[in-house]
Chains A and B, each alone.
Chain A
Amino acid sequence: MKALWQLWRLPFRQMAVGAVLLQLAWLAGAVLLGCVPATDASLAGVAAMLFAFGAWFWFTLLGMCLRGLCRPESFLLPGFRQRLARMGALQVAQWVLLPTLAALVLGVPHALLGGAGLLLLAAIGLAASSARYISLVVWGVFMLAGWQPGLAGAAVKVLIASAWAVPLALLLAVLVASLGLRPLLRIEDRETDSSPLENAQLGRARARNLDGTPARRGKLGQRTGAIFDGTSQRAMEQALARYRAKPGWHLRTVLVRRLLLPHDNPQAIALRLLMVAAIVTFYVVAVMHRQRFNAAVVGAYAILLGLARFPQLGRGMRQMRPNLADLYLTLAPPTRTDYQQTLLDALVVLVPITVLSTVAYTGLGIVLTHAAEPARMLLAGAIVSVGASLTALAVHLVGPESGFGRGVVDVVVTVGAMAVYWGGYWLLGALGLTIGGGLLLLVTLGFGLGVWSSARREYLRRPPCFDAPLAG
């Protein structure tokens, strides 16, 4: 029972905020379903949506946790596979069986089909992190449905009416789940570790598991990783040559940057932007069909994408503590404050990189969606991303130690920055680019610099820490 309890708690320990939100979604779905007899039957539809999204994301989260857990040593634990199976059964009972039974008892139409659909979504979510080609197939289905919406709608109607729909969904769920579980339960060599500060944005995503261990990569992932490693190798060699020729503070900072942020050299940044551009273009053109896009949304997504870098920075700085003892001895700083300052100097480059990435993503979005007001979007995106990245860097340097606290901070900073983008976009429209832009710059940069300078003071005041983090 204890082992089962430990397994069940995994998502809460590794991604507390996400896990709590998804459980709340389940609770909200259950409450809505419970209200169906007393109110409108349409509430069942809302409940089904909540269960569907909840199950998909919850099982995706579960798959990510399992990816870190299923390492060779774990299989030596007594009854590991059986306990894993029991935990899976518990999860299916909560997310699929209970809602389906409740819907059947309450006489909700298509309850069985809904249950089978939930199981299929759960299986797809579980497979998302271990068998990514399944996600691609799902994408493909959505893409086809997008190209031929009439045909897709007719097919869905036929399926709903068919007696074969439920067994077909169940069979598919079993197939997808087994394809997703197979690589998780296979014993493989561990991947070589990358820098814990590694960029985990789109295009270089899933470099490591939730517990910080390096993630298994497919052949394509390994080749991409090798290209990025090649750029970092060349960047380090160049930085070394320049430092040897003319040692100085600036080149020393560059050298430390090449060590800590190996994939944030100009070549790697360009490569990453290209990859993101390719993926986003495919996504917008093929999957979302650009006419459905509100162009102004693109800027908010670009902010989201740009800031996605910082949560990993917070986690990475904690993971890196023992490694940094060696850097401390190597740099031989006169004072501890000098050492902290060196790290700050190295990391602050993430601000211009984030701004550049955000502007590039926004520009790409503008082209893809034929946005009517590109200058307004670019200006709002650029100004907000400066303040937001300064704030994100600041809070991750001196922010909370616990995983839950960091999760809350991530959500607040990201959602806040997206809201500020919307506000800024409106402001630019209302007051014009010059006055609106000036006001937006004053507010966001003032806030960002205020937070940054306070965090900087606090970081410099703190003694360096080289002890490995205990948990979270």
Chain B
Amino acid sequence: MSTTATAPATTFPATPNGPVLRVRGLRKAFKQREVLRGIDWDVPSGRVVGLLGRNGAGKTTLLRCLLGLSPTDAGTVELFGEAMTEPGGERMHRIGFVPQTFDLFPWMKVRAYLDFTAAFYANWNHALAGRLLGDWQLDPKQKIGELSQGQRQKLAIVRAIAPQPDLLVLDEPVASLDPQARRAFMAELLELMKAPGKTVIFSTHITADLERADADIALLRDGAIQFTRPLAELRERLRRAVLARPGGWTQAPALPGVLKATLKGDEAQLLVEDADPEGLQALAAREGATLRIETPTLEDLFVELA
């Protein structure tokens, strides 16, 4: 099997609201390895953005750099219209963050931890936190260190949601959750999004959750955001054209709008943007191949593009 890839178009849809997050030329390297290579990214207000990328693509690094939790080598980050050169006091309280590894304070009890955190917030929703603790069966008297990984992740989500943040940054928040808890979490997330001006940046590999949230998809690859597009637009504009002929293919057939071409057995699978059915039919006739046009799922797109 051979694969060739073409860089996707990077045109962004215009947004009615000003961006919550604006990143320009963000670079970050660990020793010799450059993870982020000049990221330019705008996240509009009031959207759920799913950040997709393979393992090691730099999603966690990017999210930590955005919040000032990891120093950057170059570039600028603006959150809520102000540069992130300093945390900026109360601005941090407009952000909720669920880290990938939940390294909170294992020697503290759940109730003490939430009480401690709540003491610093002006908008802590005690009722919401109490309800979520009950619904998700988290014992307030238990030490955090005694919780399972999934329970810790639930607690991290409660802690992130309870201050009713304007920007929720979630780094693979459902990785350790069972299906019921995942659904419950997504329901809470969608409920939170009903309030005006709420924005979520959501790194995950579970594409079904992004489909449920009707998220905008941002793809991080080769240290850069390759595109940010609404899921509906991706679904509408991207098609997989499968050209099959006996004897297979030595190279992928040329066609405008091809984002990625994969040769597999007798088939040439082309991921095409704004596919022209007539052009595809003509190509199939010219190459002596049969044509099948498929609508890829988000997971298919992730596999193809990431």
Which of A's residues lie within 8 Å of B, judged by CB?
192-195, 198, 229, 232-233, 236-237, 240, 243-244, 247, 255, 259, 262, 322-323, 325-326, 328-336, 339, 463, 466-468
Contacts and interface: CB of A to CB of B under 8 A. Distances in A.
A255 B116 contact: yes
Chain A CB within 10 Å, residue with most, of B93, B95, B107, B112: B107
B146 A244 contact: no
B56 interface: no
B12 interface: no
A192 B146 contact: yes
A48 to B, nearest CB: 45
Given A193-B107, A236-B108, A326-B105, 12 more contacts: A193-B145, A229-B107, A240-B115, A240-B116, A240-B119, A325-B97, A326-B99, A330-B116, A333-B87, A334-B87, A339-B87, A467-B70
Nearest to A326: B104
Interface in B80-96: 86-93, 95
Q: Indicate the size class of the contact surface on chain B.
A: 35 or more
Interface in B121-155: 121, 143, 145-146
A332 B99 contact: no
B112 A233 contact: yes
Nearest to A190: B145
A259 B95 CA distance: 22
B119 A332 contact: no
Contacts of A335: 86-87
A192 B159 CA distance: 21
A237 B115 CA distance: 9
A466 B69 contact: yes
Given A193-B145, A323-B103, A329-B67, A236 B92 contact: no
A334 B105 contact: no
9 contacts: A193-B106, A236-B112, A325-B99, A329-B95, A332-B90, A332-B120, A333-B87, A334-B88, A467-B70
A467 to B, nearest CB: 6
Interface in B56-78: 64, 67-71
Interface of B: 64, 67-71, 86-93, 95, 97, 99, 101, 103-109, 112, 115-117, 119-121, 143, 145-146, 159
A65 to B, nearest CB: 23
Contacts of B90: 332
A126 B107 CA distance: 29
Contacts of A331: 120
B97 A329 contact: yes
Contacts of B119: 240, 243-244, 247, 255
A24 B103 CA distance: 39
Nearest to A214: B145
Nearest to A467: B70
Contacts, number: 90
Contacts of B143: 192
A254 to B, nearest CB: 11
A463 B71 CA distance: 8
Tell me whether chain A's interface is mostly helix, strand or loop, or mixed: helix
Contacts of B145: 192-193
B86 A334 contact: yes
Nearest to A262: B107
A229 B71 CA distance: 35
A259 B106 CA distance: 11
Contacts of B97: 325, 329
Instruction: List the 7 shortest-distance A-B pairs measured between CB atoms, nearest first.
Output: A332-B92, A192-B145, A193-B106, A322-B103, A334-B89, A335-B86, A193-B145
Contacts of A243: 119
A233 B109 contact: yes
B46 to A, nearest CB: 22
A340 to B, nearest CB: 11
B149 to A, nearest CB: 13
A98 to B, nearest CB: 42
Contacts of A262: 107-108
Contacts of B88: 334
Nearest to B105: A323
Given A329-B92, A334-B87, A259 B69 contact: no
A463 B65 CA distance: 13
Nearest to B89: A334
Contacts of A332: 87, 89-93, 120
Contacts of A240: 115-116, 119
Contact of B107 (A195, A244, A336, A466): A195
A453 B196 CA distance: 48
A468 B104 CA distance: 13
Contacts of A333: 87, 89, 92
Contact of B69 (A198, A237, A244, A325): A325
A336 B86 contact: yes
A8 B70 CA distance: 36
Nearest to B165: A329
A335 B87 CA distance: 6
A333 B106 CA distance: 24
A144 to B, nearest CB: 40
A194 B107 contact: yes
A460 to B, nearest CB: 13
A37 to B, nearest CB: 54
A333 B173 CA distance: 25
Nearest to A256: B116
A466 B108 contact: no
A192 B89 contact: no
A253 to B, nearest CB: 13
A229 B109 CA distance: 10
A328 B87 contact: yes
Contacts of B117: 326, 330
A323 to B, nearest CB: 5
A244 B117 CA distance: 12
Nearest to A225: B107
